[in-house]
């Protein structure tokens, strides 16, 4: 009577189990979307220093600036322009004017943003974001996000999670991937045992 599991099937079973275990301990580096100013958005009535103190920004995160495009804008600027609120002499790294700008933070460094409309920067519409390198965390432990880098304007909608990693789209995608891996593992095990 032949063995229930033949050598090639046993090898397949071992490999599938290895990949299943590897997936169980996979490193997550999901980026987060932060809506600047939370529900208030990018406006004059927000203390952006206090807002940034509530969050940890890392490389790959996205800052989402929501504002009325006829009343405000977003300029990424140098430290000197941020401090002086004067963009007329240069120091502007990027300009955004859609009213729903998504800026990916690509570098670990300090980034400065202002509203260039006359009086708005001096009135408080400036944001300094200190971005750290993303540190991988073991699966299931969550990650705190944030990061600043060269901005990339993205028009269109998309709600942010304001840094709450428990409800981010990336965590749902990760969970879906884990479920798919479990399904594949179970199919391989079934094929090995009942061949």
The pLDDT tens digits of the residues spanning 16-66 come to: 666 666 565 554 457 899 999 999 999 998 999 999 999 999 999 999 999
Q: Which of 67, 112, 110 is nearest to 93 (CA)?
A: 112
Specify whether 116 is located in the same domain as 91.
yes
CATH code at position 82:
2.60.40.420
Same structural domain for residues 80 and 105?
yes
**What Cα–Cα distance (Å) separates residue 102 from each residue in 15, 97, 119, 152, 195?**
41, 11, 24, 7, 52
Residues 121 and 71 in one domain: yes
State the residue range of the domain holding 4: 1-29+168-195
State how far the Cα of 113 lies from the Cα of 128, in Å rounded to an integer.
6
- What is the count of structural domains for the chain? 2
| Domain match, 51 and 83 both | yes
- The pLDDT tens digits for 63-88 are 999 999 999 999 999 999 999 999 99
Residues 120 and 154 in one domain: yes
């Amino acid at each position: 009577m032949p063995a229930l599991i033949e050598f090639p099937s046993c090898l397949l079973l071992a490999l599938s189990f290895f990949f299943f275990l590897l997936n169980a301990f996979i490193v997550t580096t999901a980026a987060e979307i932060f809506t600047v100013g939370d529900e208030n958005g990018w406006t004059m009535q927000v203390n952006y220093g206090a807002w940034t103190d509530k969050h940890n920004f890392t490389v790959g995160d996205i800052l989402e600036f929501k504002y009325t495009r006829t009343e405000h804008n977003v300029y990424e600027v140098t430290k000197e322009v941020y401090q002086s609120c004067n963009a007329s002499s240069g120091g502007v790294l990027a300009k955004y004017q859609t009213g729903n700008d998504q800026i990916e933070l690509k570098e670990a460094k300090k980034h400065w943003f202002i509203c260039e409309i006359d009086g708005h920067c001096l009135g408080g519409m400036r944001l300094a974001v200190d971005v750290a390198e993303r540190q991988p965390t073991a699966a299931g432990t969550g990650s705190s996000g944030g990061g600043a880098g060269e901005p990339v304007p993205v028009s269109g909608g998309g709600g942010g999670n304001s840094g709450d990693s428990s409800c981010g789209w990336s965590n749902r995608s990760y969970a879906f991937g884990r479920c798919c891996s479990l399904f594949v593992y179970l199919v391989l095990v079934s094929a090995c045992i009942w061949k």
